[in-house]
A and B are shown apart, each in its own frame.
Chain A
Amino acid sequence: MINVSKIKKGIVLDHINEGQGYKLFSQLKLDEIEDVVVLLRNIPSRKMGKKDLIKIETDLLLDFTVLGLIDPDITVNIIENGEMVRKIKLQLPEKVTDIMKCKNPRCITNYEKVRHVEFTLSDPQKREYRCEYCDSPTSL
């Protein structure tokens, strides 16, 4: 049995909605990094019933913009020397580039090669963004 309970230095993503851990794992491209990564699923939680959790043993910082976009309610703990030193409060980013794709089938960005399409937050409740080209609402 590998001991996954403690990491010395890195990041713990806590309070991930049940079943969302693997999706997050892929969206953050954690399969592409060389560091130790642990995905825990279906952990009993008093608040959430069940939750998922990801631990990453790393010196690098994650792109918290992407994380805020995927789920701003995830708790991010930064670990140093085996201790939690800092919590990061996630926010929905005001502007997003290179993460989303416009979902409007009539949008030019789905036909021409368009780099760095910018999406602007239009409805924080629905986590909805608007495409800079066609103004259609899109979410991740």
Chain B
Amino acid sequence: MNKTKHLIEPKDFTVEELDDIFRLADDIIAAPMKYLEVCKGRLLASLFYEPSTRTRFSFEAAMLRLGGQVIGFDDPSASSTSKGESLADTIMTVSCYADIAVLRHPREGTAKLASKFSPDMPIINAGDGGHQHPTQTLTDLLTIRHYKNKFTDHVIGVCGDLKFGRTIHSLVKAMSRYKNVRFIFISPEELKMPQYILDELDSASYTQTNNLEMVIDQLDILYMSRVQRERFVSEEEYLRLKDYYVLDNTKLQKAKNDMIIMHPLPRVNEISVEVDDDPRAVYFQQAKFGMFVRMALIMKLLNLEVER
């Protein structure tokens, strides 16, 4: 019997399994027409207990482009949860209809809990509070792979809110599995990388600074992030730190010609609009890779293949 596989956190996949997904995504990008009917007759349940239009569109677009269909909600007040239905009951009911489910929830650990009630239907975690958001990590990895052709031998600058940045923690963990990857963590003192993340890294593999301009010339990849209002206790603290780093054309003058600039979006002020025209800016392309990698992921979890 084939055991149902879920994606709850990035480490649910080995490096080899990830490579498999990325190779499949490459092929989908190269020949999308081949995949138009792979998911014909399949149903994806999109369960969004908090709204996230960006992520939901990406999953729904992915399923529709594979020829599958989508049911779901993005407003829990309209679902039976508002009548007090437990997560377990919702999942068991949904699994009667759908072949695969995408779950977004404000509470941490929800996707894992859901997977325990879903022996046959794969669950994809589309964000559980500040905990995990593995498909964002897959998106980032596919983007790096596309522009840099490899995961090894990079200097990665990670800039902004490193303390609360869930996508950043996850990306750093994922990239640290590859050889000769060095990190430069760029943040104000108040938003430094937490010690428990640093503890998991080889101490020779990273340095920390608060000055983006000083290190930008060393970077192969610059990953910018947003300072999020909801993570701060006081409004003053947020206002003080939100515009600490602004990437503009002046700062970029010192950067390598083949450096890429990434950002999980949406951005606020941390990347000046003038940077959008720079060929090194790939953040708007990331959304496209996000859809392709989700297409590959859905196929992988449903054990579907086409001849390549």
Contact = CB atoms under 8 A, between A and B. Distances in A.
Contacts of A113: 86
Contacts of A133: 108-110, 112-113
A61 interface: no
A59 interface: no
A106 to B, nearest CB: 5
- Which of A108, A109, A136 counts the most chain B CB atoms within 10 A? A108
Given A132-B112, A133-B112, A111 B131 contact: no
B130 interface: yes
A134 interface: yes
Chain A interface secondary structure, helix, strand, loop or mixed?
loop
B88 interface: yes
A87 B110 CA distance: 43
Given A107-B108, A111-B107, A134 B131 contact: yes
Nearest to B87: A112
Interface residues of B, number: 15
Contacts of B108: 104, 106-108, 133-134, 136
A106 B112 contact: no
A114 interface: yes
Contacts of B105: 108
B264 interface: no
Contacts of B128: 108, 134
A104 B87 CA distance: 19
A108 B113 contact: yes
Given A108-B128, A132-B109, A133-B112, 19 more contacts: A104-B108, A106-B106, A106-B107, A106-B129, A107-B107, A107-B109, A108-B87, A108-B107, A108-B108, A108-B110, A108-B113, A112-B86, A112-B88, A112-B113, A133-B109, A133-B110, A134-B128, A135-B131, A136-B108
Interface of A: 104, 106-109, 111-114, 131-136
